[in-house]
Amino acid sequence: MSNEHQNYDVFLSLGGHDTRYTFTGNLFKALCSKRIKTFFREDEYHLKSHTNDTQISPSALKAIQESKISIIVFSQDHASSPRCLDELVTILESKMMNNQLVWPIFYEVEPSDVRNQRGIYEKAMYEFEDRYSNERMKKWRKALFEVCNLSGWFYRGYEYEYKFIGMIVESALQSLPRYDVFLSFCGEDTRYTLTGFLYNALRREGFKIFMDDEELEGGNQISQTLMGAIETSRISIVVFSENYGYSPWCLDELAKIIECMKTKNQMVWPIFYNVEKLDVCNQTKSYGEAMTAYEKRFGKDSEKVQKWRSALSEITNLEEGEHLSENEYQHECIERIVERLINIEDGKKHIGSPLLAPMNNE
């Protein structure tokens, strides 16, 4: 599976060969099981230098810069890997530039040994002095010192590892401001039927869903919370029903969804529930009546109405979608959608204690 051209939630910096198939591998699997897109390059450990200044591959560099969280596993082998040290320097630089979260994990190594380069870290730095430039060595030493000022975890080896991993995963879930799916729907038509059942089916599979269950009163504008939820969702599912077009709130959501589809390359899946696609796209029947009423209310040249009409017309260009009529089983439609989402998420996985206070200087 290719790693290229993907946005990641977490960059997982391998602590060394000693944790690849144990702790770090288990952490990676646990993150993916919660649908947290994680970069973990399993085949990079023995790569030669890509340039004279770094051993980070272009794909890893891009993943570091775009990930919201970088998790660095410090283990016995970590200091003996120039690639790990180069990643550490780049991660801290990206943190300064992009305000990213960086979480160090000290796996059976003392944080003070990392900070002050003692023990195995002192030995590694000594062996590198004859092989790498003074400038590069200074960057490594500075990064090892500075990373210990960040909040992180310390695993001493006498606690259940799965519980320790669970705390890290839970913190990641709470720190990632995004949703897997945004559901746009007309409450009076589908809240207690199709959309409600779809929400529960997706939630059972572990998807994080934004489904606003409170209708706005007529004339109220879509909230910034909803705008933010649309922007941070990976996929928007729009349930077009008979009264969807009569809701200015729904149409504002749709306009924002189409905007994010174009500017952020987000996926949009329409579901046509007891309405025809052409009636939505061409604004006929209930959708035509709704648009005519809006033109009388806001004027034919209203920018708002034109934006709504354009968003409805854009649905014509979407290949994905489901059509559900009254004589079809809703559960079959829901099963298809859930299965498709699972396949997409699985295809994007790359096989490739509370937060502690900053450590004290010693």
Residues annotated as catalytic are: 253
Residue 326: half-sphere exposure toward Cβ, Cα within 13 Å = 3
Show Cβ contacts of residue 17 under 8 Å, excluding neighbours closer than 6 positions: 45, 77
